[in-house]
Amino acid sequence: MLLLHPPTAKPGEPPAALAHLAAALRGSNHRCRVCDMNLEGMLHVLGSAPPATDTWSRRAGRDLAANIAALQGPELYRIPARYQRAVRDCNRVLEAAGRTHGLLLSFANYQDETLSPTVSDDLITAAHRFRQNIFYPYFSRRLTQLLEDETPTLIGLSLQYLGQALTTFAIIGFLRAQAPTIPIVLGGGLVTTWLRNPSWRNPFTGLVDHLVAGPGEGPLLALLGPPQPCRLEIPDYTGLGDLPYFAPGFILPYAASSGCYWRKCSFCPETSEANPYLPLTPPTVMDQLDSLVTAWRPRLLHFLDNAVNPAVMRALTDRPPGIPWYGFARLDDRLTDREYCRQLRQAGCVMLKLGIESGSQQVLDGMNKGIDIKKVATALEALAAAGIATYVYLLFGTPGESMDEARETLAFVADHHRLITFLNLAIFNLPVGSREAAGLEITTRHQGDLTLYHDFRHPRGWGRREIRRFLDREFKNRPAIRTVLQRDPPFFTSNHAPFFAGPAGRPGI
């Protein structure tokens, strides 16, 4: 079987989904080849960008090879200003290449001026016009060689993000033209969201043979042979772990669970999609991590869980993995305990991502977050005292918020800015299928048939335009907050943040 990870996604670490699928297939004695077409495709586009026409682009093009090499080594990450310049210069080359194809292209995004990934007809058009895709010169040559070398009986594509969708379908179009008899399987996070929408109707008959929601190991094994139990296998990064990702060493992505153990927050896709919570036991997690760390000697461990289970956190303190690690955590009473936070730091925790969402207790209660804002402040103090960096996520525009509550968030962040290492600001999107949508006035002016979110009229007049104005004129203009925002690694954001997780965003691991 051939497993593909298409462009465009952040090229900082291997795609964990392919490692999980490959482990299940190889564990059942199926031959499997994985290909990170995202990383390879980006390197191809960077290396074949058009001649520059302005001073910045000429400099970026001239320094491109040196900047890529620097981003793949440790020294650059010790000088944040030089790191930011190198990333922005490399991205400038991507942007210039994208403009020649009518794209807004970056390390983190792929946006077409004429085709939308939320409109099925546009995805089908992308499949029919595969030669027009910016990655076509790369994937046509690469796939032709893979088809000759591997002679696969099944081809799987992992579609996780909207930014991958148009190129994924361009690749599918090419495969249909070159190898029309080989079945194509499409899975991943974005596909799961599509299939779990109550109004889903498959528009891709004739292009995609099998669409898979949720974990794909069982469905792939069923397609490849007689039904058999899907054994628990350690993720297999063979074919991925030694690739030249944009990071100062191998980052090991690892999931100790799928779904969310809290799963009570209003407007959460985990709830609207009815995704089950499927955790590994803490002993299994630690045994797998021991094997993976021994095999791959990673520089950093990235937990992919929606929130790392407290039992796993405790297991990590009892049996440290031996390398730095980070991931999402729920802000519960444990994180207000300074001794517990100190133990986490001693176990290798360098950064925790925290979905605080709001500085207003009223808004948090309305979202059923289960968070006490006073305890948030205590936890931030405990984590800072332990030397653990925080990557704080804020969400503006939920139905229970107005400008008054947004200003409470501003005040909270301003008061605690010395305890916050990084900030992520987002405007609320209402998931399609959310049960709370029934109480809101839904509009459809921007919706395609594959849209992930509803447009709605905010019940308190706190619309997206008003939120953006507030963020630009008030929130980001506070000098203390602006300083925190400026630390965020451009484009790679939280994926590179642990390398700057020292005090005030200075070099970390």
> Which CATH number among 3.90.870.10, 3.40.1190.20, 3.30.565.10, 3.80.30.20 corresponds to the domain 251-505?
3.80.30.20
Q: Are 131 and 178 in contact (CB under 8 A)?
A: no
Q: Given pLDDT bands bounded at 50, 70 and 90, which one contains residue 263? A: confident
Q: Does the pLDDT at position 274 exceed 90?
A: no
Model confidence band, residue 294 (pLDDT cutoffs 50, 70, 90):
very high
The Cα 461–Cα 444 span in angstroms is 18
Q: Which helix (H) or strand (E) holds 290?
A: helix 282-296
pLDDT in tens, 140-177: 999 999 999 999 999 999 999 999 999 999 999 999 99
β-pair partners for 423: 392
Q: To 10 degrees, what angle do helices 55-62 and 64-71 make?
A: 60
Amino acid 353 reads: K
* Closest by Cα among 88, 96, 110 to 486: 88
Residue 230: per-residue pLDDT: 63
d(CA 397, CA 497): 26
**Closest by alpha carbon to 2, among 134, 130, 170, 145?**
145
Report the CATH number of the 2-50+100-224 domain.
3.40.50
* Cα–Cα dist 303/307, whole Å: 9
Hey, CA dihedral for 177, 183, 189, 191, is it positive or negative? positive
What value does the mean pLDDT take over residues 457-482? 96
What pTM was estimated for this model as a whole?
Answer: 0.95
Q: Is the pLDDT of residue 395 over 70?
A: yes
The pLDDT of residue 432: 86
Q: Comparing C-alpha atoms, which of 491, 509, 43 is closest to residue 500?
A: 509
Dihedral sign from CA coordinates of 293, 297, 300, 304: negative
Q: Is the pLDDT of residue 136 over 70?
A: yes
Does residue 330 register a pLDDT over 80?
Answer: yes
> What percent of the chain clears pLDDT 70, i.e. is strictly above it?
98
Question: For residue 65, what pLDDT band results from cuts at 50, 70 and 90?
Answer: very high
- Under 8 Å between Cβ of 180 and 174: no
Q: What was the pLDDT predicted at 445?
A: 60
Q: What is the pLDDT of residues 406-425, one digit of tens each?
A: 999 999 999 999 999 999 99
| Cα 490 to Cα 58, 82, 280, 289, 421, distances in angstroms | 20, 12, 33, 29, 15
CB proximity list for 369: less than 8 A, separation 6 or greater: 265, 355, 357
The SS3 of residue 447 is coil
**Mean of the per-residue pLDDT values for the chain?**
94
For the chain, domain boundaries: 2-50+100-224, 251-505
Chain centre distance of CA 373? 27
